[in-house]
Chain A
Amino acid sequence: MNAALPQLSIRDLDVVYESRGSAHHALKGVSLEVRAGEMLALVGESGSGKSTLGRAILGLLPESAHIQRGSIKVGDTEIVGLPERALRRIRGARVALIPQDPAHSLDPVRTIGAQLVEAVHLHEPRSNIATTRRMLVGLLERVGIKEPERRLHQYPHELSGGMRQRVLIAAAIAQRPALIVADEPTSALDVSVQVQIMALLAELRHEMGTAMLFITHDLGLASEQADRVAVLQHGTLCETGETKALFANPRTPYTRRLLADLPLFHEARAPRRAEGPREDAIVVSHLTYAYKGAGGRPGHKAVRDISFNVVAGQTHGIVGESGSGKTTLLRCLLGLITPDSGSVHILGENPARVEGATRRALRRAVQFVYQNPHVSFDPRNRAADILAEPLINAGLRDRSVRAERVRAMLERVQLPPAVLERRAANMSGGQSQRLAIARALLCDPKILILDEVVSALDVSVQAEILTLLETLQRQLDLTYVFVSHDLAVVRRIADTVSIIRAGEQVEHGPTETVFSTPHDDYTKRLLAAIPGRDLIRPAVLA
């Protein structure tokens, strides 16, 4: 492979979004190069402009955006200013895209075969269908799909997420492009699948000598996969360098902050101050629940024989991939569904059995915080209405008393009083998650169930929210059930942990024990799959 040959070179790129007369610079003076066979990771938080850059390379900027200045060269072809027809000959043939969301990136009503054939025919209109299909069978095999002949006749919904992403990769490499733009290719996939997909991308890159621009928000993943890393902040490239050097010795304050906020797996949580033995806030024993199949027949079991307990004032982590039965488990904890067998006791009560006033009291004592706070707020309500609701429910009729409690709560969750007039839609992700926590706390709960509450947040905001949660737990003596797929975050916050797979609890116990000496194969695989597992915080930040 010719390492010296840049397959992508961007010079002084400025991209501007214009809407209603106001202009927003999404990218300012960005310059970078990706050489053949090399992977450059473009990392940045949301709104940094990393996706805009990917779209600009493909010539697919939205109409409201335009390139004000600069050049994008793929091989020796200048993309900027190229007419649409010429761009279409380059897209797919010389630059290919691996998209973010495999679930929605294939046409749902066409077969896999039809879509792959189309991908080839767009650039080789004369090729024979039979030959193309033979070539595609080989290609699908190459990307690790078993029974490729059969897959060609299947529809996207018949494939798993990982398989769909493999199909999309096959479509991307069908024309042997010189450059692949991979836009968060694994962020919608489970970690164990992520590892496989990233390994496949690495193999293909070395085999075909393709240059790869890997757009990601995940510093850990970038540190493992990329040859070089470019850090984008508010549209400006703040640091570029060899991966090892950059992670060992970040030069700019922004990169340093990113690395400081990144939850690292090998950093165990600080041991808690010793306390006397305390009662269990939650006891789950032999919990089993099956969704009812069609016509009242028993369907598949969503959770089987799960047992754990959570000591009051502590945090229990629940780790599981999609489809593991996490949601069913939480619904049992909240008393929304009644277990088929086994039992749940919360603060000594069985949520599925209690009635009337006890039920309402229990409901308020166990509060739920959602992954995506925006959709958990009535879009018509302002923050003031949102925070007033639990107080009104508690029978607090005096406005001034309510206002005082709301004010105190805002202070607690570190939100400025000005947010009261705003709707959640106009808040940042971090602000609205604080608001959701505030609403939950106004019910005076004993237990918070936190469902992937930091997964959608940027690392810096994630760190703030985790710190806030820890502070609140100390101050208010709260018990947490913390659901997450991010093992590094779980290790930081949880005292005990349950690892759940396909409805079964494969392992549980104190977090440190489980993570340092895992017994189950699945736990071991999960731990091995953590992106950036071996990353060590650079000495400068220590």
Chain B
Amino acid sequence: MNTALARWRQRHDVTLPRLLGVLPVLMLVLVALCPGLFTPLDPLAGQTDERLMAPSATHWFGTDQFGRDVFSRIMHGSFSTLSAAMLAVAISLLVAIPLGLAAGLGGRRLSGAILAGADMVLAIPELFLSLSIITLIGPGATHVAFAVGISQVAGFTRMIRTEVVRVRATEYVEAAFGIGSTFWQVVWRHIVPNSLAPALSLATLRLGTAILAISTICFLGYGPSPPTPEWGLMITEGRNYLATAWWLTTFPGLAIIFSAWAATLLSRAIRMDP
């Protein structure tokens, strides 16, 4: 058992830094799934006599204009941000993987058409693209995730295609054909694993970008509506007390940064360097 574990660890190159890199995201997921474990306070119900209180031992991150506990709201808000970011990345991967593979494996015409399309989309800044989609489908938490996911498709497609083209040109792919493997055998055994592994690591990096994009759009007011605890929205609401209650904007921002950094760390941890 012990040796089996050791062999598994060796095969997948599991090292302490790698495990540490996964930790922050695991923490985030735990908080998102069971925020109640970390805070007993209700994120929605405020105490009218505890309005705009500075951070203290009872309210670690202070309270807002309705007397709601900011720490509790941040804990409960993590689900919305995290699930939306994951949904966004999942949507973009779902569309981009087939497109990228087709552009990398297909003939000149198909590949040229996909790339030209991607270039056209990439010319529009992602935020403008997401905002346009939102104009089309309306605001809301899921819509934001959808908009952000679609906006990232072009970038992902290009990235996957670049990887596929790189792997296709390697000597080991040529060698695989040489020992009698068919085109699809080579695609399945060598091209897909070797091109998608770095692409997936970059996808986790994009999880951080998605978190930022989502909170930006929520900050602009197109995400869920109050009183939902959402980090970007909390910062918008906190702006009215900019000069007096710094904790209303500072802590949700730190939560966003923590999540984005956690995604960065995760992508470094799962990166495969063959």
Write the residues of chain A forming the contact surface with B, with a CB cutoff of 8 angstroms.
334, 360, 363-364, 367-368, 370, 372, 375-380, 389-390, 393-394, 423, 425, 439-440, 442-443
When distances are taken between beta carbons in the complex, the residues of chain B under 8 Å from A375 are 170-172
Residues of A within 8 A of B182 (CB): 393
A425 to B180, CA, bound (A): 23
Q: How far is B190's CA from A444's CA once the two chains are assembled, in angstroms?
A: 22
Bound-state CA distance A443–B170 (Å) is: 21
B47 at the interface (CB under 8 A from A): no
Residues of B within 8 A of A390 (CB): 179-180
In contact, A377 and B175 (Cβ under 8 angstroms): yes
In the complex, are the beta carbons of B274 and A380 less than 8 A apart?
yes
B171-A378 in contact (CB<8A) = no
Q: In the complex, A290 Cα to B206 Cα: how many Å?
A: 46
Looking at the assembled complex, report how far the CB atom of B22 sits from the nearest CB atom of chain A, in whole angstroms.
Answer: 21
- Distance (Å) between the CB of B120 and the closest chain A CB? 27
Please, could you name 7 A-B residue pairs with CB atoms under 8 Å apart, sorted by A? A334-B178, A360-B180, A377-B175, A378-B194, A380-B197, A393-B185, A443-B179
B171 surroundings in chain A (CB, below 8 A): 370, 372, 375-376
Residue of B nearest to A379 (CB): B274
**In the complex the two chains form, is B180's CB within 8 Å of A393's CB?**
yes
In the complex, the answer to whether A439 meets B194 with C-beta atoms within 8 Å is no
A337: shortest Cβ distance to chain B, in Å? 13
Q: Which of B172, B179, B190 contacts A393 (CB 8 A)?
A: B179
Chain A residues with Cβ below 8 Å from B180 are 360, 363-364, 390, 393-394, 443
Question: Bound state CA distance, A264 and B134, in angstroms?
Answer: 76
How many pairs, one residue from A and one from B, have CB atoms within 8 Å of each other in the complex?
56
B36 is an interface residue with CB less than 8 A from chain A: no
Which listed residue, A334, A370, A372, A393, touches B181 by the CB 8 Å rule? A393
Q: Majority SS of interface residues in chain B?
A: helix
Interface residues of B in 209-255 (CB under 8 A from A): none
Q: Do A378 and B178 touch (CB < 8 A)?
A: no
Instruction: Assess A368 versus B193: contact at CB under 8 Å? Given A375-B170, A390-B180, A393-B181.
Output: no
Is B178 within 8 A of A363, CB to CB?
yes
1/0 contact string of B159-187 vs chain A (CB within 8 Å) = 00000000000111011111111100100
Q: Which of A360, A363, A380, A439 has the most CB of B within 10 A?
A: A380
Residues A378 and B179 in contact in the complex (CB < 8 Å), given A389-B189, A393-B185 = no
Count class of interface residues, chain B: 20 to 34
CB of B261 to closest CB in A, whole Å: 25
Q: Is the CB of B179 within 8 A of A367?
A: yes
Residue of B whose beta carbon sits closest to that of A436: B175
Min CB distance B100 to A, Å, is 19
Q: Is the CB of A380 within 8 A of B194?
A: yes
A425:B172 contact, CB within 8 angstroms: no
- Residues of chain A lying within 8 A (CB to CB) of residue B197: 380
Interface centre among B171, B181, B185 (most CB of A within 10 A): B171
Q: What residues of chain B lie closer than 8 Å to A368, measured between beta carbons?
A: 175, 178
Q: List the 7 closest A-B pairs by CB distance, nearest first.
A: A379-B274, A390-B179, A393-B180, A376-B175, A364-B180, A376-B171, A375-B171
Inter-chain contact A367/B176, CB cutoff 8 Å:
no
CA distance A375 to B170 in the complex (A): 7
Residues on the B chain within 8 Å of A378, using CB: 172, 176, 189-190, 194
Nearest residue (CB) in B for A364 is B180
A443-B179 Cα distance, complex, nearest whole Å: 7
The distance from the CB of A195 to the nearest CB of chain B, in whole angstroms, is: 31
User: Which residues does chain B contribute within 8 Å of A360, judged by CB atoms?
Assistant: 180
A residues less than 8 Å from B190 (CB atoms): 378
